[in-house]
Amino acid sequence: MTLSFMPQTQGAKVGYLFPGQGAQAVGMGKQLYDESPAARDVFHQVDMALERPLSNIMFNGPDDALRQTINAQPGIMAVSLACIKTMEERLGDAMPQPVVTAGHSLGEYTALAVSGVLDVGDTAKLVQRRGELMQVACDQNPGTMAAVIGLDEMTLEQIAQETGIYVSNINTAEQIVISGDIMGVARACDLATARGAKKAIPLRVGGAFHSGLMEPARAGIIEAISAMTFHDPQIPIVGNCDAEPLATAEDVKRELISQVCSCVQWKRSVDYMIGSGVNDFIEIGPGRALSGMVKRISRRSQIKSVGDLESILSLSGN
């Protein structure tokens, strides 16, 4: 199965946004599976590609199984793609067409399928392999992450240098995620609070993602990418690392390799899209985390969240 769109040429410019790990919840996608043949086909395609019943874990749990990286990442991707296919099925010509796509960490892989870089099956396989490799890296280099609220990027970069940790996600000007070894992150949180942060919140994650501690995953990612055929994006993807469009298959490959250990520049990605004339965003998949971020980045931008049939039908304006 492939997904493709005709880029929008008139009217409001729309950007599609895809969520990352943490958006998962038991039961996600079940309504779409029950009510949309197009969505059902996506879930079947993913299960077949992975050669296991991932959809059963997504729909029925248990929660601790769904939280595992190897299940959460392809599961979130599958729900986002099921939403896309349901939008096509139910909205037809009224479906908002994107001029650009972007995804937060894992969500960048979802954008590959939507932009025609990979088909659904290969995207699912690559996401699962990414999850496996990240888990190996977490086992070799145990670490954690924390969200720092209300402290500027420059001050956090200084704290990172002092403590040996990393700035991993710049989500908004007021919300930045750090990562590293457990003791380093704890010390960085103390320093951040002492230097004016409103909060420093430890995150329930299995490792220090988007940091140097993920280096053991890099070689495996390169090998997995080399084994697949990538196509140029039909719709530009704004990359996490540089917050600029990925125009070619080679651009995409370099981005995915860099993304393993590099900071997710989400605020800059959204700023780039807004600066390019995109004012309407649709977050596609489980959760509403990206919608909250966009609202904090730009009060003028319009953002809608799509994760079930009701929210999909609301896009038609009827």
Report how far residue 172's alpha carbon sits from residue 177's, in angstroms, rounded to the nearest whole number: 10
pLDDT per residue over 90-111, tens digit each?
999 999 999 999 999 999 999 9
How many percent of the chain have pLDDT more than 70? 96
pLDDT value of position 138: 94
Average pLDDT over residues 245-259: 97
Domain 144-202 top-level CATH class: alpha beta
C-alpha distance from residue 121 to each of 67, 239, 299, 305, 317 (Å): 22, 22, 37, 25, 32
The ranges assigned to domains in the chain are 14-139+211-314, 144-202
The arithmetic mean of pLDDT across residues 208-230, rounded, is: 97
Q: How far apart are alpha carbons 219 and 66 in whole angstroms?
A: 26
- The CATH number assigned to the domain with range 14-139+211-314 reads 3.40.366.10
Instruction: Please list the residues that pair with 12 across neighbouring strands.
Output: none
DSSP codes joined into one string, the chain: -----PPP-SSS-EEEEE--TT---TTTTHHHHHH-HHHHHHHHHHHHHHTS-HHHHHHH--HHHHHSHHHHHHHHHHHHHHHHHHHHHHHGGGSPPEEEEEESTHHHHHHHHHTTSS-HHHHHHHHHHHHHHHHHHHHHS--EEEEEES--HHHHHHHHHHHT-EEEEE-SSSEEEEEE-HHHHHHHHHHHHHTT-SEEEE---SS--SSGGGGGGHHHHHHHHHTS-----SS-EE-TTTSSEE-SHHHHHHHHHHHTTS-B-HHHHHHHHHHTT--EEEEESS-SHHHHHHHHH-TTSEEEEE-SHHHHHHTT--
pLDDT per residue over 52-69, tens digit each?
999 999 999 999 999 888
> First and final CA of the chain: distance in angstroms?
30
Residue 238 contacts residue 265 (beta carbons within 8 Å): no
pLDDT value at 9 more than 70: no
Q: What is the mean pLDDT of residues 108-128?
A: 97
Catalytic residues: 105, 210
Judge whether 75 and 28 are in contact, CB under 8 Å: yes
Max Cα distance, the chain (Å):
55
Contacts of 73 (CB under 8 A, 6+ apart): 21, 106, 109, 127, 128, 130, 131
How far is residue 200's CA from residue 188's CA, in Å, rounded to a whole number? 9
pLDDT band at 5 (very low <50, low <70, confident <90, very high): very low
How open is the CA angle 124-128-132, to the nearest 5 degrees? 170
* pLDDT value at residue 317: 67
**Residues facing residue 303 across a β-bridge:** 281
With a cut of 50, say whether residue 41 has pLDDT above it. Answer: yes
pLDDT at 287: 94
| Both tokens assigned to 225 | 């990418």
* Phi and psi at residue 264, to the nearest 5°: -85, 110
List the strands of the sheet with 14-18, edge to edge: 245-246, 237-238, 98-103, 14-18, 280-284, 302-306
Q: What is the pLDDT of residue 278?
A: 97
CA angle 159, 212, 271 (to 5 degrees): 70
